[in-house]
């Protein structure tokens, strides 16, 4: 019994000692590492019983806890439980990457956090989505992928950027393009041809004030944040090498162009009975011949000769689209090397792209080099990103080159030296011959231009950024970013002296040679502090304070010389020195394109209570040199909140069916400074002139010392949801953006010497809804089918143009009128054709039919060129080793005024010299005939019949890939092998009569059409 009592006492002692020990607080030290790269992870959350801390820049942490386990978590990684032992020592925590979690990490530029704690409206696109797409400008790849984002492509010229608007147009004279950032550095859309999407890690589109107000006046139209890839080796620590290549062809897309063939053209000429055209001049039904302006009856020999001529013409049937356009070749090669070594990770890439255009003499050849390196040493983390691109871009003539390089939004001129126009104009009974030039020899004039002209842009582009993070404590760090983007364009334009168009050069009639250099750079520097604190069980606060400077500068210098020596070819040496006697005076030009400075102070605050509640606030003070000193500084702000309803106790009963339910809202103030054509437009500007034989200056623009910021009040409400374990998930947003102090050209009295002055007078409102839905239709081990839909509607309304102003004309066919959307079309309404006379019928201002055309009867039409409806549909199928993805994009409610339709549907003497559309065989001929085409004796006028719907549904992209299984022997050398086929712009459903309705403005001319491209390639991973 005594032994038993002793044993019990001893056991009780051990038990109570254990209890005391379990409640003892102890200090735990450790380090958090990436399981694949073995690199330290900064900012990981480590939770123990009664304590929470974060890992430092070197991955190290220390906390005092009474528990026996730690839970380590970090965005982009799987949570890791760590069992603490009594042996002590350093604790090593290895976190494994979580692809699903990483996809929810949102990088907004200054900050990054998980999607559940992001209060703003935004869309994230993985860089993998944009890879292998055979398009040289990345913004075109965004079409149909982002709710509310519209990308209008002004040209199919390889490498050219589009017109991008987000949630409607918020300005008349100001900039409507979003802000683009690459690794924190602002870039212009003219640099897009130099961005290699193979280097992209992600693209984040920021839409509402909570997301964009941190960028102040630069983010008034939305922000697109591009993050390039970081180094990451294989899980066994070895260097990773990836090689990607593809080869393909491009052809003109599925257009609705139907020009007359030879038989149809000759029949048409006989119908309209124009004796200057061979179809009627040599017709056996025409008894009259014209000789030296006189009319004479035909003889038998005349009829015989006419039969011979017509037979000869019938033997020719030229398809000018096939002559002037081609099947173009695309080739791309890319090699990436990435890895990590201790505290350093690196990513190196070398890319090559050679993409021919479907028009001869056009295309892009690009070399790209990128090096990203990140090093963590103690409390300092340094990240250096450098990208360099050299590109050689060739353009067709009259596509419209801007002074900064590339095709302008107004390209595609109505001219015989534009080969796209000549595919419409050229007559089918003319033989292709580059030497058979002359008036009305449209196709041959274009061939002569191809052979004797060269328009080239040699681009050099660079983007570099250096980011430093100095962690002073676990909660406080200092940050600094220094970045630069640089673009240089050297444009040369040559027109041979003995060519058809070279002999028409006004100065000297002997060709011309143009050489110019445009240089632009952007510098950004910011420095600040970041404070992050986690306390209690769920409280979290983050504060960022920064000072920032943005500097933009650009110049243009060039000359044009004349009187070329044909033997010296395309070079400046061919120019004849100008003199007062030979009229070869060269044209020399130079200007400062951009010169502005933006100084800012930024404060960002976020508080989160777990993932249940998040509140954000931002305050930014901007000072811009583009605004007069009296109004130079402005305070911009935004407030946002998010509520994760599903984490509330009262939602427990539905969590089996509802997997996500979050409500967010934001409101803020953003601004825009650039309402003048120059950065100093608010001042009176002068230009040099000659007065009485002496040099003098004259006023060039009136200036406006009261000029102020364009201001936008932006509100947004959204709901994020998921059902059935996120088999169905998505977001719905509603927004309201009202822009006041709108930049408007105010009419002035002619006695001032100026027609207009830019002033802050207008107000415009954009109200809309965006929907994004995604569904996993099938989730099986070997089969997964996903379906996605994004849809957006935007209502744009001009509220005012200032006192007494009701309308302003943008050009000859569109206007800005109070109560209507910006870009509303304005024309005399078309009433059809009088079946008895073939005369055109118009509607007067009251809607009554009239046979008299009067421009005063023009009224606003229910048509605009900025589409109110837009969206896209995606389909993804994964079956074993096969992957298929499909993208459709669509717009609705957009119209354009079509010159190609006008010129190809007009039989009057001004236009019948051009080839016509085949349906013009139905042109009015006799009384009682019902037809939409007026008689040939009536002149064509500008009416609403040429404002045509530009709505479309496009099969934008289809991709099929297969991951090739590797044998054990091959796996020793090759870690992955994938083959793929990709198609871009494969088919369009549309009412448009022409090559393509896509464009960046209201008037369709003869722009370079978007091609259909099919490529095949492979990815190899070593």
Neighbour-count burial for 576-612, b at 16+ CB within 10 Å, e otherwise: bebeeeeebebeeeeeebbebebbbbbbbbbbbeebb
Q: Residues of the chain with pLDDT > 90: what percent?
A: 60
For residue 701 the two structure tokens come to 């623009």
| pLDDT value for 402 | 35
What's the helix, strand, coil split of the chain in %, to 5? 15, 50, 35
Instruction: State how beta strands 91-95 and 26-34 pair.
Output: parallel
Q: What is the DSSP string of 82-110?
A: EE--TT-SPEEEEEPB-HHHHTTEEE-SS
pLDDT band for position 943 (cuts 50, 70, 90)? very high
| pLDDT value for 75 | 63
CA angle 466, 467, 471 (to 5 degrees): 150
How much is the average pLDDT of 347-364?
Answer: 94
How much is the average pLDDT of 191-218?
Answer: 88
User: What are the pLDDT digits (tens) for 887-905?
Assistant: 999 999 999 999 999 999 9
Indicate if the pLDDT at residue 795 is higher than 60: yes
Q: How far is CA 613 from CA 538, 618, 640, in A?
A: 10, 17, 11
| pLDDT value for 552 | 94
| pLDDT value for 104 | 60
User: What are the pLDDT digits (tens) for 294-349?
Assistant: 999 999 999 999 999 999 999 999 999 999 999 999 999 999 999 988 788 999 99
**By C-alpha distance, which of 575, 642, 569, 580 is closest to 612?**
642
Which of 1-5, 131-135, 234-238, 759-763 is the least confident region? 1-5
| pLDDT value for 378 | 86
Q: How far apart are CA 372 and CA 415, in angstroms?
A: 47
Which of 78-87, 169-178, 191-200, 822-831 is the least confident region? 78-87
Q: Where are the beta strands (DSSP E) in 536-681?
A: 539-562, 587-609, 613-624, 633-644, 658-672
User: What are the pLDDT digits (tens) for 101-152?
Assistant: 444 667 777 887 777 888 989 998 888 888 878 877 778 888 889 999 998 8
How much is the average pLDDT of 200-217?
Answer: 90
pLDDT band for position 270 (cuts 50, 70, 90)? very high
pLDDT band for position 479 (cuts 50, 70, 90)? very high
pLDDT band for position 12 (cuts 50, 70, 90)? very low
Q: Are 206 and 219 in contact (CB under 8 A)?
A: yes
Contacts of 631 (CB under 8 A, 6+ apart): 706, 707, 708, 709
| pLDDT value for 442 | 92
What's the burial of 290, exposed, middle or buried (CB within 10 Å: 0-12/13-18/19+)? exposed
CATH topology of domain 24-95: Immunoglobulin-like (2.60.40)
Q: How far apart are CA 632 and CA 597, in angstroms?
A: 11
User: What are the pLDDT digits (tens) for 1006-1018?
Assistant: 888 889 999 999 9
For residue 325 the two structure tokens come to 């356009």
CA angle 124, 130, 133 (to 5 degrees): 155
**Whether the domain at 24-95 and the domain at 105-231 fall into the same CATH topology:** no
Neighbouring C-beta atoms of residue 506, cutoff 10 Å: 8
The total number of residues shown for the chain amounts to 1022
Indicate if the pLDDT at residue 15 is higher than 80: no
pLDDT band for position 20 (cuts 50, 70, 90)? very low
Q: What is the pTM of this model?
A: 0.86
Running DSSP on this structure, what letter comes out for residue 51? E
| pLDDT value for 244 | 94
The CATH code belonging to domain 105-231 is 2.170.130.10
Q: Are 925 and 939 in contact (CB under 8 A)?
A: no
Q: How far apart are CA 996 and CA 19, in angstroms?
A: 79
| pLDDT value for 553 | 95
Q: How many helices (H) and strands (E) does the chain have?
A: 11, 52
Indicate if the pLDDT at residue 583 is higher than 90: no
Task: List the domain boundaries for the chain.
Answer: 24-95, 105-231, 413-447
Q: Which residue carries 């970090």 as its tokens? A: 74
Indicate if the pLDDT at residue 408 is higher than 70: no
| pLDDT value for 191 | 81
| pLDDT value for 101 | 44
User: What are the pLDDT digits (tens) for 738-787?
Assistant: 999 988 887 776 677 777 777 888 899 999 999 999 999 999 989 999 99
Mean pLDDT, all residues of the chain: 88
| pLDDT value for 478 | 95
Q: Which of 49-63, 283-297, 832-846 has the highest mean pLDDT?
A: 832-846
User: What are the pLDDT digits (tens) for 706-721?
Assistant: 889 999 999 999 999 9
Q: How far apart are CA 426 and CA 444, in angstroms?
A: 8
Which of 151-165, 246-260, 470-484 is the least confident region? 151-165
| pLDDT value for 99 | 47
């Amino acid at each position: 019994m005594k032994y038993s009592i002793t044993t019990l006492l001893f056991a009780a002692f051990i038990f109570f000692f254990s209890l005391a020990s379990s409640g003892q607080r102890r200090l735990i030290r450790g380090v958090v590492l990436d399981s694949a790269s073995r690199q330290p992870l900064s900012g990981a959350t480590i939770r123990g019983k009664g304590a929470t801390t974060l890992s430092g820049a070197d991955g190290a942490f220390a906390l005092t806890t009474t528990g026996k386990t730690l839970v380590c978590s970090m965005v982009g990684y799987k949570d890791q439980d760590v069992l603490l032992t009594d042996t002590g020592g350093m604790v090593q925590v290895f976190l494994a990457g979580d692809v699903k979690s990483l996809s929810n990490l949102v990088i907004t530029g200054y900050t990054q956090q998980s999607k559940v704690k992001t209060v703003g409206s935004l869309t994230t696109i993985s860089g993998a989505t944009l890879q292998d797409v055979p398009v040289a400008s990345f913004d075109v790849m965004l079409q149909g992928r982002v709710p509310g984002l519209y990308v209008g492509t002004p040209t199919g010229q390889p490498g050219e950027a589009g017109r991008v608007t987000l949630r409607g147009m918020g300005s008349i004279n100001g900039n409507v393009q979003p802000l683009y950032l690459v690794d924190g550095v602002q870039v212009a859309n003219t640099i897009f041809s130099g961005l290699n999407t193979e280097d992209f890690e992600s693209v984040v589109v920021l839409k509402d004030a909570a997301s964009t107000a941190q960028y102040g006046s630069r983010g008034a139209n939305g922000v697109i944040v591009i993050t390039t890839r970081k180094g990451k080796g294989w899980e066994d620590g070895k260097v990773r090498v990836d090689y990607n290549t593809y080869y393909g062809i491009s052809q003109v897309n599925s257009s609705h162009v139907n020009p007359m063939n030879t038989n149809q053209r000759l029949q048409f000429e006989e119908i309209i009975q124009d004796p200057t055209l061979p179809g009627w001049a040599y017709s056996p039904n025409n008894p009259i011949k014209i000789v030296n302006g006189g009319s004479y009856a035909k003889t038998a020999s005349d009829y015989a000769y006419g039969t011979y001529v017509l037979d000869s013409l019938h033997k020719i049937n030229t398809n000018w689209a096939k002559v002037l356009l081609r099947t173009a070749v695309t080739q791309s090669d890319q090699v990436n090397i990435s890895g990590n070594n201790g505290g350093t990770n690196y990513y190196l890439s070398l890319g090559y792209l050679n993409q021919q255009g479907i028009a001869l003499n056009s295309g892009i050849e690009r070399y790209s080099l990128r090096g990203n390196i990140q090093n963590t040493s103690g409390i300092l983390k340094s990240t250096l990103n450098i990208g360099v691109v050299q590109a050689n871009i060739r353009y067709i003539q009259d596509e419209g080159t801007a002074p900064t390089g590339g095709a302008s939004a107004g390209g595609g001129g109505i001219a015989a030296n534009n080969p796209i126009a000549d595919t419409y104009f050229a007559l089918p009974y003319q033989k292709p011959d580059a030497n058979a030039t002359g008036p009305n020899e449209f196709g041959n004039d274009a061939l002569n231009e191809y052979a004797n002209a060269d328009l080239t842009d040699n681009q050099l582009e660079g983007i570099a950024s250096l980011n430093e993070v100095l962690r002073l404590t676990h909660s406080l760090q200092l940050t600094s970013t220094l970045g630069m983007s640089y673009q240089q364009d050297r444009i040369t334009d040559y027109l041979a002296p003995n060519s058809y168009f070279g002999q028409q050069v006004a100065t000297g009639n002997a060709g011309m040679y143009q050489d110019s250099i445009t240089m632009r750079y952007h510098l950004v520097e910011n420095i600040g502090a970041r404070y992050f604190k986690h306390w209690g069980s769920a409280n979290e606060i983050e504060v960022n304070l920064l000072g920032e400077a943005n500097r933009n500068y650009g110049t243009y210098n060039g000359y044009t010389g004349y009187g070329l020596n044909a033997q010296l070819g395309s070079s400046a040496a061919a120019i004849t020195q100008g003199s007062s006697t030979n009229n070869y005076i060269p044209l020399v030009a130079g200007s400062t394109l951009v010169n502005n400075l933006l100084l800012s102070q930024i404060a960002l605050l976020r508080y989160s209570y777990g993932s249940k509640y998040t509140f954000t606030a931002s305050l930014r003070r901007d000072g811009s040199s583009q605004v007069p000193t009296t109004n130079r500084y402005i305070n911009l702000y935004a407030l946002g909140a998010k509520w994760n309803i599903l984490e509330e106790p009262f939602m427990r009963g539905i969590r089996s069916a509802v997997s996500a339910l979050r409500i967010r809202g934001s409101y803020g103030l953003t601004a825009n400074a650039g309402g003048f054509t120059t950065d100093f437009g608010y001042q009176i500007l002068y230009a040099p002139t000659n007065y009485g034989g002496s040099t003098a200056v004259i006023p060039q623009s009136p200036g406006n010392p009261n000029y102020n910021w364009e201001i936008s009040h932006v509100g947004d409400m959204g709901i994020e949801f998921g059902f059935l374990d996120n088999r169905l998930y998505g977001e719905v947003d509603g927004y309201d953006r009202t822009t006041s102090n709108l930049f408007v050209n105010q009419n002035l009295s002619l006695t001032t010497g100026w027609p207009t002055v830019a002033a802050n007078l207008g107000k415009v409102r954009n109200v809309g809804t965006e929907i994004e839905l995604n569904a996993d239709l099938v989730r099986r081990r070997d089969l997964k089918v996903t379906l996605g839909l994004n849809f957006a509607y935007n209502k744009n309304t001009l509220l005012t143009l200032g006192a007494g102003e009701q309308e302003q004309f943008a050009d000859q066919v569109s206007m800005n009128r109070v109560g209507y959307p910006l870009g509303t079309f304005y024309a005399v309404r078309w009433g059809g054709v009088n079946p008895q006379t073939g005369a055109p019928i118009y509607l007067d201002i009251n809607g009554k039919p009239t046979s008299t055309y009067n421009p005063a009867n023009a009224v606003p039409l229910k048509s605009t060129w900025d589409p109110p409806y837009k969206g896209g549909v995606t389909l993804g199928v994964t079956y074993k080793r096969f992957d298929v993805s499909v993208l459709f994009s669509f717009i609705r409610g957009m119209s354009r005024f079509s010159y190609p339709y006008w010129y190809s549907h007009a039989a009057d003497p001004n236009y019948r010299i051009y080839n016509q559309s085949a349906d013009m065989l139905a042109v009015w001929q006799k009384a009682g005939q019902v037809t939409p085409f007026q008689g040939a004796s009536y002149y064509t006028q500008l009416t609403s019949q040429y404002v045509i719907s530009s709505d479309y549904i496009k099969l934008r992209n289809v991709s099929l890939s297969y991951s090739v299984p590797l044998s054990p022997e091959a796996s020793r050398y090759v870690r992955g092998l994938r083959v793929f086929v990709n198609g871009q712009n494969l088919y369009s459903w549309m009412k448009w009569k022409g090559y393509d309705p896509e464009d960046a403005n209201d008037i369709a001319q003869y722009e370079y059409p978007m091609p259909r491209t099919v490529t095949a390639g492979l990815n190899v991973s070593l």
